[in-house]
Structure 1
Amino acid sequence: MNIFHGIVEIAGQMGILSDALKAKGHYSVGYNTFHSYLGYKDHLVNTDLNQIKANQEDIINSFDIFHFHYNTTLHENHEDLPYLQSKGKKMIMHHWGNDVRFHDLAKVNNPYAYTGDSPPNEVMHENLTKISKYIKHAIVQDYEVYDYVKDYYEKVHVVPIAIDISKFYPHFPKVDKDKPLILHAPTNPDFKGTTYIENTLAELRKTHAFDYQRIEKMNHDEVIKLYEKADIIVDQVLCGSYGLLSVESMALGKPVITYIRPDLITKFPSVLPIVNANPDNLYNQIKLLLDNPMLRLNVGILGREYAMRVHGHHAVADQLLSIYSQL
């Protein structure tokens, strides 16, 4: 099969999935119009919407499956979908969160939810209504996103975030370290709850010795090298589920602090090795890891095993191929 991914690269997923699909004998590539300091480039054609439109016929004729991401298709207003349907192309939409996180619904089960990055509800509804007229299957990364789109599509598949586990060698926390290093990488401070995190760390500094580094505006390869040095990684404490930083941190053998909504815990695979913290208990959860070096190590070991079992991109690609066969 020839598989098109596009047109927004989220957390490196188009490239990572394309790599695994190629390893299984298919042709897969991502056309990316979202260019950021993270610098994703593997298995991508970094381009823009005008170039995609100019080459639309060649693109449509070259691919069997169109795996769209983040509410985007070949045209900004999804005007390509009727044409793709008329050409008999298989299509699926992959939603990642902020593209569909309805403001009122997000607050129902999560008082901490930040939705400032999502469009107005009426815009998301209009987009989903238009897309689902032509695309009948969708993918979401977890059940936090599932509820926002389940009423629009005939079938919504839950497929975890993918990573190439071979690129992550574990660097487990040392139990004899005098000053543990805490890292936090806020791609969006408001979404991740950075103010809560840094205020909590300021309080903990009064009684605990540790180093802290906030990582911003660095490309992905540089960031991974810094993660390797960490003893504790604090990801996001508002959303209610975990993202790529948590997955990569677990793959590196690091204990991760993230907020998981209580109603979603059983929706994840068993033995989810994340230290669960929201703004109300963040102080105690970070303190717990600072006070217990062996706990940091044990959570890191469990996290590595979990990332390998759940998030390895070859296993995720197998799930994708099964879904593609249903389109």
Structure 2
Amino acid sequence: MRIFHGTTEIAGQMGILSSALNKRGYFAVGYNTFHSYLGYQDNLINTNQEGLHEGYQEILDSFDLFHFHYGTTLCPGFSDLPEIKQRNKKMIMHHWGNDVRFHDLARINNAYVFTGDSPPNEEIHEKLLKITKYIKEAIVQDYEVYDYVKDYYDKVHVLPIAIDLGSFTLKYPKVSKERPLILHAPTNPEFKGTFYVEKTIEKLKENYEFDYIRIEKMKHDDAIKFYRDADIIIDQVLCGSYGLFSVEGMALGKPVLAYIRSDLIPMFPSNLPIVNSNPNNLYEQVKKLLVNPELRVELGKKGRQYVENYHSHDVVVDKLLQIYSNLKE
């Protein structure tokens, strides 16, 4: 089976999933038209809309299954979908959050959420109607995204974020470290709640000794080198779920703080070790880790085990292949 991923690379997932599929003996590659400072390269063909247009017929001829991401397909306006459907090729859409986060729906269970980088509700709705005329099943990373698309597709699968653990060497926090390093890495500061993170950091500095680094606009591979030295990682404190940065932090053996909506907690495995933190309790949650180095190590160990169990690309690809096998042409 030859598997196409495209056309928007989010959090390195097209490349990671393609790599895992290739290791299983399939041919998979991501065609990416979204280029950012993160610099993802693995298992990707970085192109643009013109390049997709030029290679359109070859792509349609070459692949058996089309795994689309972030509400994008080969052509503007989804004009490729009727032909792919006519050729009886399998298709699935992978939604990641901001592409489908309806503003009013997001606020029902989350007073903190920022949706300023999501399209207007009407635009999301119209796009989903066009997609689901031809694509009947979707994938989402968690149940925070699930609610936005569940009424549009015949079936929505929850597939955790994937990570290649081979790229993440364990480095637990040192109990004896006099000045712990807190690290925050926002790709979008408004979405991640960076204002509240740094307001908390300034308040903590009045009473506690530690260092703080904000990683921003840095290539992903370079950023990982900084993550390794962190003792505490603060991810997103507004969204209501955790993202790739949380997964990477746990993979490195770090304690991670992020906001998990109370109604979503039962939807995750019961051993999720993330320190649940929102703007109202962030000070106390960070303080708890600053004054208890043993807890930092304990959570770091639990986090690594959690990622091995649920986010390793070897585990995730098994679930993905099961989804693929049941897709209808």
- TM-score, with structure 2 as normaliser: 0.99
Aligned to 2:9: 9
Distance 1:98 1:76 in 2: 19
Matched, 1:166 2:166: yes
Distance 2:51 2:220 in 1: 26
Q: Secondary structure at the match of 1:30?
A: strand
Distance 2:269 2:20 in 1: 22
Letter in 2 for 1:152: Y
Distance 2:43 2:120 in 1: 33
Distance 2:260 2:170 in 1: 24
Letter in 1 for 2:280: D
Matched, 1:90 2:90: yes
Q: Secondary structure at the match of 1:77?
A: helix
Aligned to 2:176: 176
Matched, 1:44 2:36: no
1:58-69 matched pairs, under 5 angstroms: 58-69=58-69
Distance 2:151 2:104 in 1: 16
Q: Secondary structure at the match of 1:229?
A: coil
Distance 1:121 1:262 in 2: 25
Q: Which runs of 4+ in 1 moved over 2 A?
A: none
Distance 1:181 1:126 in 2: 45
Deviation at 1:315, TM superposition (A): 1.2
Distance 1:56 1:194 in 2: 41
Distance 1:293 1:51 in 2: 52
Q: Secondary structure at the match of 2:97?
A: coil
Matched, 1:281 2:298: no
Q: Secondary structure at the match of 1:4?
A: strand
1:69-103 Cα offsets, whole Å, 9 max, x none, are 00000012111111110011100000000000000
Matched, 1:125 2:140: no
Aligned to 1:315: 315
Q: Secondary structure at the match of 2:183?
A: strand
Aligned to 2:76: 76
Aligned to 2:116: 116
Deviation at 1:270, TM superposition (A): 2.1
Alignment coverage as a number of residue pairs:
327
Deviation at 1:260, TM superposition (A): 0.3
Distance 1:182 1:68 in 2: 36
- TM-score, with structure 1 as normaliser: 0.99
Deviation at 1:223, TM superposition (A): 0.5
Distance 1:154 1:29 in 2: 26
Deviation at 1:250, TM superposition (A): 0.2
Matched, 1:199 2:199: yes
Unaligned runs of 5+ in 1: none
Deviation at 1:53, TM superposition (A): 1.0
Deviation at 1:314, TM superposition (A): 1.2
Q: Secondary structure at the match of 1:53?
A: helix
Distance 1:246 1:157 in 2: 21
User: Which sits farther off after the overlay, 98-107 or 75-84?
Assistant: 75-84
Q: Secondary structure at the match of 1:263?
A: coil
Aligned to 1:105: 105
Letter in 1 for 2:302: L
1:152-176 Cα offsets, whole Å, 9 max, x none, are 0000000000000111111000011
Q: Secondary structure at the match of 1:191?
A: helix
Aligned to 2:155: 155
Aligned to 1:140: 140
1:27-47 Cα offsets, whole Å, 9 max, x none, are 000000011111100000000
Aligned to 2:324: 324
Distance 2:155 2:80 in 1: 21
Letter in 2 for 1:279: P
Distance 1:174 1:314 in 2: 29
Aligned to 1:27: 27
Aligned to 1:219: 219
1:205-235 Cα offsets, whole Å, 9 max, x none, are 0000000000011101110000000000000
Distance 2:283 2:164 in 1: 33
Q: Secondary structure at the match of 2:174?
A: coil
Aligned to 1:244: 244
Letter in 2 for 1:262: S
1:169-189 Cα offsets, whole Å, 9 max, x none, are 110000111100000001000
Deviation at 1:269, TM superposition (A): 1.4
Q: Give the CA RMSD over aligned residues.
A: 0.5
Distance 1:60 1:187 in 2: 33
Q: Secondary structure at the match of 2:322?
A: helix
Quote the sequence identity (%): 65
Distance 1:161 1:101 in 2: 18
